């Protein structure tokens, strides 16, 4: 097998022109879930590489609230990244187009407590998590070649997570993903045709599907939901980037996010779900939103 096939690479589908990310490194990532039956699961703490005393297994980027033995939040380099700033092979051109998957991958641990679910965290911990995301996004955007930063969270074995210790991930790309470009095109077309903001119209039309709202944020079940019980959380003020939220907006945002997660767990039990940040830092026609997608 050629050496390039063993790296994180981006290949272009010659039928469609779409770019596809291949990462063999992630095949080796650890898994501590066991006794999985639907959304009932247990985990083996001895297999978790993020507990106190296992600091040598990871490269720490940031600690909040203490040192390596007493932190409240921790950011590390992803040991099994889908993107990397380092590569040692020559890109392919022509029909079989391939290039290195350049970027950075980080993991945020919101709590040192292994069996504590994200839904069980308090407001202070949610705000610490959000402030850290904003800080890390700003730092990553300052790096050469980085054009897009994506934040997401997989909770539970059916969400795609391989480790039960609650955590979020930040991935930074040298190109804006094609799904975001498609949405930017849709926004531009809507503005040209209607001379109005797409997202303001969305909030007007989605009023009957509102789940909860407060002074600065609103959550609703979108008309075009991709799955049952999906929720979108949007600011009432047009903000395209999470780093532009005011202190009041950040507080209201985590209040609604916590309520959405806890309400779904009250209805459906301990479920797996995905949290996906949706934003574009340098496009003011875009709007920041968070997608909550439970696996029911």
CA 189 – CA 193 distance, rounded (Å): 6
Cα–Cα separations (whole angstroms), residue 255 to 121, 215, 289? 11, 11, 14
Q: Among 73, 71, 82, 94, which Cα is nearest to 27's? A: 82
Residues in the chain: 296
CA 288 – CA 239 distance, rounded (Å): 6
Q: Is 69 a catalytic residue?
A: no
What is the 8-class DSSP label of residue 111?
A: -
What is the 8-class DSSP label of residue 223?
A: T
Q: Which two tokens stand for residue 30?
A: 């650890």
Residue 283 backbone zone (phi > 0: left; psi -120 to 50: alpha; other: beta): beta
Q: Of the listed 69, 165, 167, 278, which one is catalytic?
A: 167
Q: Which two tokens stand for residue 107?
A: 């993991």
Residues β-bridged to residue 234: 218
Enzyme catalytic residues: 167
């Amino acid at each position: 097998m050629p050496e390039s096939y063993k790296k994180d690479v981006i290949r272009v589908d010659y039928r469609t022109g779409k770019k596809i990310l291949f990462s063999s490194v992630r095949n080796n990532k650890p898994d501590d879930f066991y006794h999985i039956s639907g959304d009932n699961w247990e985990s083996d703490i001895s297999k978790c590489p993020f507990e106190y005393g296992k600091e040598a297994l990871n490269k720490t980027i940031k600690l909040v609230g203490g040192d390596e033995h007493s932190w409240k939040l921790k950011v590390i380099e992803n040991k099994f990244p889908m993107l990397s700033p380092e590569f040692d092979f020559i890109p392919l051109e022509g029909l079989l187009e391939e290039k290195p998957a350049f970027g950075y991958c980080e993991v945020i641990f919101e709590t040192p407590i292994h069996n504590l679910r994200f839904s069980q965290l308090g407001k202070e911990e949610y705000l610490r998590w959000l402030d850290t995301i904003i800080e890390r996004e700003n730092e990553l955007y300052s790096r050469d070649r980085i054009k897009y930063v994506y934040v997401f969270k997989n909770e539970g074995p059916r969400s795609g997570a391989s480790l039960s210790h609650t955590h979020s991930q930040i991935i930074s790309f040298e190109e804006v993903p094609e799904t975001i470009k498609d949405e930017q095109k849709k926004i531009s077309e809507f503005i040209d045709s209607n001379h109005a903001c797409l997202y303001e119209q969305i909030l007007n039309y989605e009023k009957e599907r509102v789940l909860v709202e407060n002074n600065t944020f609103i959550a609703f079940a979108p008309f075009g939901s991709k799955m049952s019980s999906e929720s979108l959380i949007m600011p009432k003020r047009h903000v395209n980037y999470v780093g532009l939220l005011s202190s009041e907006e950040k507080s209201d945002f985590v209040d609604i996010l916590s309520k959405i997660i806890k309400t779904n767990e009250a209805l459906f039990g301990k479920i797996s779900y995905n949290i996906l940040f949706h934003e574009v830092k340098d496009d003011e026609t875009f709007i920041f939103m968070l997608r909550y997608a439970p696996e029911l």
